[in-house]
Chain A
Amino acid sequence: MKFQIIYGTESGNAETVADDLVDEFDGDVEIEATDMTDVTLEELDPSTFLLVICSTHGDGGMPASAVPFAQLLDDEQPDLTGLRYAVFGLGDSSYETYSRGSEHIDVRLQNLGATRVGDYGRHDAADGSLPNESALEWAHEIIAAVAVEVPAR
């Protein structure tokens, strides 16, 4: 099972999370990270497991780098049946729209037939902490569960 991280970022924090996940798991599993801006529909293949890392911008909006990806999904309406993914959202609970940025991507993937698995990871920046460590914990659980699965024949 190949793991494909796609990250949506505004200030670089989701990007450093993606960097860390690649550093942590590279060698143990096949894993790579792509900015959502650069994701193509060919990469959304059921043979890969998608790790979605996405921040929130402003009042519950998507970060700049997620916007072209959302637009691509909206325009092309690809059939994502069989694609599985997990989500880790970044946000700040001093906003009423806490962590909503990633949800814009989650709802699109679900509506196109993909299946979300595992815990919906979230990090709250309101206390000034970094998301990197809690994202690593989240990813360890997801990857451990998915990587041991017997490949479908």
Chain B
Amino acid sequence: MTITTTVRTDEAVAVPDDLTLYYDPLSYADYDHPYELFKRLRDEAPVYYNARRDLYIVSRYADVRAAMNDHERLSNAKGNDVDGTHDSYGEGMLVTVDPPRHTALRAAIRRTFSARAIMAQEEGVRAFAKELVAGLREEGGGDFATQAAIPMGIGMGMMLLGAPEEDRPVLVAHLERAMERVVGEYGVPEDAAAANRETEEILAERFAERRAQIDAGASTKSSDAYTQVLLGVHAGKVFPSEQDGLAHLVLSAASDAPSALLTNCVAVLDKFPALQDFLRRHPTMIPQFIEETLRYDTPGQNISRQTTAEIEIAGTRIPEDSRVMLLQGSANRDERIYPDPDRFNLTREFTPANRILSFGDGIHACMGAPFARLAARVVLEELLQGPDFHIAGIPERWKKQLVRGFSSLPIRFDG
């Protein structure tokens, strides 16, 4: 044996082409650097089967979008996630139901998410954003995730629900517990599941209080979710057993992914610091920045479905009753749709034909997308009124595989 810098394959050894073609959404590799893995999937295995997780993974934009619109053959009955998250949620959890219950439950909270109701939230979001940003600025910096993004996400959920201010600390604590996972391992820790159950106990109490107010003659004109769900129960459209799970969905969907989006915006502004001054001088470009950030580093990386029949996607046959993961994080980087997809491009044009899949498509498309965009715009408008900032220290990502964003993001303001 000699020591040499010249290495060459032993011709007697057959090396399979796909030896390093591997993707596991629960793995550390995905947690750390998903996008290079996604590109190999799109090019070499647009429907990739991971035997260890017994999971089919769809990675190209066109296939992901078509699958999102095939809700009859790709059912939501087992939820959006692949790690057992939804087992700890109650009945009525919108993302774990198919029509006809899905249709009725979604209808029950339509008013809560109507454009008018969301636009009416702007003032409250701005006041809260000012307070959070001022807190960071006073200390010259801080943890943008725990001091701004997470409280804002929970705050958004509370605004939608119509929850009292006093619930904030306990709901923040529950979210942080509920998101705990072990990277590389399947499953939800018992304490995370317990946090989900405890959240639903709080929601049940608030429903009871709201119901008592309404029975005593309080107005039901408000669009908040507590009121709207109770109206749905009264009308027989929502079963009483579904109300807590439905409200829980409103809260958690408003919290984890939107707070991840806020942290991803800050991480992009750290990565390309010239954007900070540019957006400060051209605030009308902030919505474009948010849209490109949603594409470039998608907060909800994937959603999963269960096949109700054998289906074929990109030439691969997927048997009935299989788990199928739709990789939004990959679809949004698909070079077949987005030229030079790994480049952050503030002038990228989005139309109905190439719109980002970050919020899904079809009957389960995210109801909160307008609110997420509004809140992100307001927070950035407030943040950029101060000096430039940079990440100072080592951030931590959320460990739960579906959510890409930071649970801790230390920043310092310049000067």
Contact = CB atoms under 8 A, between A and B. Distances in A.
A13 to B, nearest CB: 5
B contact face: mostly helix, strand, loop, or mixed = helix
Given A16-B111, A94-B352, A130-B116, A11 B103 contact: no
A37 B106 CA distance: 13
Chain A, interface size category, equals: 10 to 19
Residue picked from B103, B110, B117, B361, most chain A C-beta under 10 Å: B110
A64 B119 CA distance: 23
Contacts, number: 46
A37 B119 CA distance: 26
Nearest to B102: A64
Chain B, interface size category, equals: 10 to 19
B207 interface: no
Interface string B90-133: 00000000000001001100111111110100000000000000
Interface in B358-383: 361-363, 367
Contact of A11 (B352, B363, B367): B367
A37 B362 CA distance: 19
A15 interface: yes
A73 interface: no
Contact of B113 (A12, A58, A59, A95): A12
A35 B107 contact: yes
B351 interface: yes
Nearest to B110: A12
A102 interface: no
Interface string A38-73: 000000000000000000001100001100000000
Contacts of A130: 115-116, 119
Given A35-B107, A64-B107, A65-B107, A12 B114 contact: yes
A13 B352 contact: no
Nearest to B361: A58
Interface in A1-40: 9-13, 15-16, 19, 35, 37
A11 B119 contact: no
Contacts of B223: 16
B117 A12 contact: yes
B140 to A, nearest CB: 36
A11 B114 contact: yes
B115 A59 contact: no
Contacts of A10: 110
B110 A15 contact: yes
A94 B351 CA distance: 7
Given A64-B103, A64-B363, A94-B351, A11 B110 contact: yes
26 contacts: A10-B110, A11-B110, A11-B113, A11-B114, A11-B367, A12-B110, A12-B111, A12-B112, A12-B113, A12-B117, A13-B115, A13-B116, A15-B114, A16-B114, A16-B115, A16-B117, A16-B223, A19-B111, A35-B107, A37-B103, A58-B361, A58-B362, A59-B352, A94-B351, A125-B115, A132-B116
Interface of B: 103, 106-107, 110-117, 119, 223, 351-352, 361-363, 367
